[in-house]
Chain A
Amino acid sequence: MIRAGQRHARLALGANPVTLVAAVLVLALLLVAAFGPVLAPYDPLRTDVLHRLRPPSAAHWFGTDHLGRDIFSRVLVATRLDLVIALSAVLLSFAAGCAVGAVVGYSGGLPDRLVGRLVDVLMAFPLFVLAMALVAALGNEVRNIVYATAIINLPFYIRLARAEINRRRSAGYVQSARLAGAGHAAILVRVLLPNIMPVMVVQMSLNMGWAILNAAGLSFIGLGVRPPTAEWGIMVAQGAPYAATGQWWVALFPGLALVVTAFTFNLLGDGLRDAIDPRRRT
């Protein structure tokens, strides 16, 4: 099982060098997230008003912000928070989406129609606006950014899991499991769910970049993360007033961190999707 998984991973990554590069970059991001505070040359919260708004230099690679804080250190340290928010949101919608989608896809009937309607209603909101309203309703906290991002992503996971389960529910191997005496729960958990995992995991990696941008967008408009905390979206927001007066580095570097991270996850997701489903290659 594990050897087969390794072979599959090698196949998926080896087929496309871009995917390999993306995988290496994702690994690097995870390392920065883990060791960011150790790597940072300065304390990300230490202010130094005598050296405020200094352009990039040898001492401050990304310059300093309006309070004299070292932007390079802040960008490094923020990696962990941004990735943790996005990853928890994506994992939550993955778990809930798999569970709900699998059950209604397998059972069909009334629950299927009800959940379908609910998904339609969720999809009837522009997603970012729904996330805004959810954070406002649940309370302005980081935790709720995670929930809001998870909820607006949920419809995609439910639809995908439902469709994939529905397609397989009368497949030969399911019927043979049924004949062998397996109950509905056992068929769902042991036979069907493992089968749809590759598709769901790819959806998750395609979704990561988007979740990062969404969470950063929420903190950019002042929801969730509070000011002294280092987080890319809020750092861009703090740098925004200085973009029109020429101090481009305050907003640019955290913005670039966002773009590079989202781009990396998208590349990895595209590569993995191509590997498991060559028909959808574009």
Chain B
Amino acid sequence: MQTTPITRINVSDKKFCISYPLEDGILLASIKRIGIIQPLILLAPPPYTIVTGFKRIEAALHLGLTDIPCIMVNITEKDALLRSIHDNMGRALNIIEKANCIEKMLHMAFSTEEVYDVMTLLSLSRHEKIAGRLRDIAGSDETMKCFILKKDLSMQNIETLLRFTSEEKEHIIEILTPLHTTESTIREILQMLHLIKVRKGAIDFSTIIGADDIYGLKARLKTLTYPILSSLEKGLKDIKIKCALPPNIDIKVDPFFEKEYIDILIRAKNPDEIRVALLKLNGVFDAGYIRSIFGLAKD
């Protein structure tokens, strides 16, 4: 191991860098306290190219260090990239880092088999389509990459997101970033947005933005993508409001208004509560509300 001045390193050359993001608060604090323990691997000749240690050099630059410990190697670029990838295998790589591995291998013209072998090590399916998607992820802009990591998006959701134009992605990220989401709600929302795009050719985001929470957003999108179902749901809700049922009585309808029957539920602790509930239901029936509910899905 030796020490070299940072000025002799080409810090802007990131062709072997797979780490993302490079900023690492814990590492920074550690280096600040006890310095760089693990030497960087640098590719000769000078100005040296970093093979491993991009986060460490980032921290060193931030801390104003002038020299860093390193090991010099003189290997081919392909070997350098493989060393960089394998050096990181010991930790759990995020999807952007996995994408970087594959994109850089494809860029350096590794054979398909070599790429697939690394994909297997990264727990990715050995498939051309997956490799293509990873390449798209690696080529995404910073906003998209940050969003993918922040929301910990699945490959399926990333794939769907990638189908939108840059401008659409920007809007979607802007809408979803502040909301508390789950993987499945993001999938639902992306699917509805995609459906609007396919049907209308474009998405009018002015009709979507401004939802307070994820449920509000879903409701807005549902009205746009499933207008009939939404109107039936609204109709049912309105009738139920008119029924003014007490909490121990509920009228349940098939969620898609497919089935002909409805369920009426009464929760009672004693016969008297049932008698009161039946009286209430009798009034609801006489007012024609039950008939209106049956009529909702008829035609």
Q: Does B associate with A?
A: no
A-side residues, CB < 8 A to B, are none
B-side residues, CB < 8 A to A, are none
